[in-house]
Structure 1
């Protein structure tokens, strides 16, 4: 059974944990306040989940989800994630994170920043443009008309293969944007951001996105 390490237990992290356990994954989840603060969530998730430190969650996961504020990116442990597929849910909120010049100028993306921090990992964009509540509710079996679609991007084909399968298991279609350098198309304030869309609608919204406001 695949173990999903989740670093960050906020709205997105906890919802991905719920969805993953339902889909048959083991989950090891961490936050910045310590494993003991996750007792209620772990009790809800059941026997296939446990709480840990960020380093231990990263080490335990066959695949790891990083879902922390962008300002906390440098605190993500590097060595435990080496060689692993890492799902990046990050978004850039300058009001929270402070201004990052390279992002303001469109010179990089949030996922590229995480890939730079984790040079030996395989970063793939995931779950950044869906309201957290919808991760467990707006789902449907493969082939359902108007099934919701989520975007992804990565420089690693096996990472795209994994997230495509994972999205499908949870109840979503996938649209692959391409390399991480194109992941800005699904970042905050673009047409595809937090909009309910099927695959064709998502492709159209990605195509009309502007790099800078």
Structure 2
């Protein structure tokens, strides 16, 4: 398993800032980019994440071992797919109508959002996590390993080694990973599911995942897929 030292975050919004703060606290070198100029973003970064480096998308990718996509889901195709070639990428995005608009204009209804992100960044390795928990919880609920009140995050992807690597990263960021090895399972964290917005301990998160097929959301997904 390759050692992750440098973390790059594409997106300087609330989720991106929260993850940058966690990564810095965990001892990683952090670069972050946003939609504005580097100079404009630097003012925000210096205030909210002192120690992180404001950069262009290209500089973030070139200088990072792990990339986190933390932009509105409706904008992921604004990034050239070739930019993330051969990179391990965390998809921390999720559809939200207030920022992304009409779902059918953003996503194909026949697959999960992360499957579509993987299809677009087809030379990258996508792992889905950090997307079912709100940014306030990400900031406030991180705890040391073995803390009694530690919360959990769902981690899933198709590449076993990549998922295991990201699961370790999630652990260092202050959360217990609950691991699956199928990117399509990311549907369980999308809006409408019981996990969307959830900040739960590992046992409770695992229980909900295990009973997903019995929920109304799970039944709708199965009907759609059939």
TM-score where L is the length of structure 1: 0.90
Contact 2:65 2:87 in 1 (8 A): yes
Displaced runs of 4+ in structure 1, greater than 6 A? none
Cα displacement string for residues 12-46 of structure 1 (whole angstroms, at most 9, x for unaligned residues): 00110011011111111111112112223332433
- Pick from 98, 114, 119: which aligns with 1:116? 119
Task: Give the secondary structure class of the aligned counterpart of 1:92.
Answer: coil
Q: Which stretch shows the higher mean deviation, 38-47 or 65-74?
A: 38-47
Distance 2:117 2:101 in 1: 14
Partner in structure 2 of residue 51 of structure 1:
54
Contact 1:94 1:100 in 2 (8 A): no
Deviation at 1:157, TM superposition (A): 1.6
Cα RMSD between the aligned structures?
2.0
User: Structure 2: 5+ residue runs without aligned partners?
Assistant: 222-226
Partner in structure 1 of residue 82 of structure 2:
79
User: Structure 1: 5+ residue runs without aligned partners?
Assistant: none
Contact 2:153 2:178 in 1 (8 A): yes
- Pick from 157, 161, 173: which aligns with 1:158? 161
TM-score where L is the length of structure 2: 0.85
> Quick check: 1:8 aligned with 2:11?
yes
